Amino acid sequence: MDKNNPLYKNQGIHVLTALFTVENGKFKVLLIKRKNQPYKNKWILVGGACYNNEDVDQAMQREMLEKTGLKNINYEFFKVFSKPDRSPIMRMIAIAYVGVIDCNKVKVLKETTKTNDADWFQIDRVPELGYDHTEILEEAIEYLKKRIFNSHILKNLFPKYFTLPEVYNAYVSILDKKIDRRNFRKKLLADGIIIDTGKLLSQNGKKSAKLYSFADDKLI
């Protein structure tokens, strides 16, 4: 392995996350705006370099903490993006993740050394993104839709206790289609994804809703 062989010198490892939330029934993704070239003033997904003293999962946890202030977030690797020319500066491979959090728990930094804006965008109102991030975002959405019933990826979207209608509405927003409420409840309970806590939440003008929590153990 010759570090100076032009065939494979100056390669870089990047990690990035399509970080989603659901707010008021709207499915949204966190984007940041680049301050400098290349893609100056373009919106992109959050991410950064993988440092030499950490593996890619650790790098993503660090980036997540730096970008959102949150620790121990559930997120999942979904694909490697490696087109040779995906970055105009140098050969850069992207290890891409999907995560879902409660945007109200987060204070996103509007300005950093590299960005001059940050915001949650409704999925159907995302502008053209820098780099190959438009493609990455599309694949991230597809991945999330596939995994939503077989993982705890939504665990950080809700507080410890939540009602069934809340989680139901999140699924509908993300999948962008109707789901049968009875089958939905049956499936999440049968698969042990959520647990009936026995508690009730009284709400004005409505029948009280049961409170559930996510199961602790990991799925597939």
Partner DNA sequence: ACAAAAGTGTTGCATATACACCCATGG
Partner DNA sequence: CCATGGGTGTATATGCAACACTTTTGT
111 touches 117 (CB < 8 A) = yes
Nearer to its own copies, 89 or 190 (CB): 89
What three-state secondary structure class fits 56?
helix
Does residue 187 touch DNA according to CB under 7 A? yes
When CB distances are held under 5 to 8 angstroms depending on the partner's kind, the choice from its own copies, DNA, none that residue 127 binds is: none
> Contacting DNA (CB under 7 A), which of 202, 216, 218, 220?
202
User: Within positions 60 to 89, which residues make up the interface with its own copies, using CB under 8 A?
Assistant: 77, 80, 82-84, 87, 89
> Where do runs of H (alpha helix) occur along the chain?
56-68, 133-147, 164-175, 181-190
Q: Which helix (H) or strand (E) holds 162?
A: strand 162-163
> Contacting DNA (CB under 7 A), which of 2, 206, 217, 218?
206
Q: How far is the CB of 43 from its own copies (least distance, A)?
A: 18
Closest alpha carbon to 108 in 67, 148, 79: 67
133 touches 50 (CB < 8 A) = no
Q: How far is the CB of 135 from its own copies (least distance, A)?
A: 13
Q: How far is CA 79 from CA 70, 141, 151, in A?
A: 23, 12, 17
Nearer to DNA, 89 or 190 (CB): 190
Binding site for DNA (CB under 7 A): 163-165, 180-183, 185-187, 190, 202-210
Binding site for its own copies (CB under 8 A): 1, 3, 5-13, 49-57, 77, 80, 82-84, 87, 89-93, 95
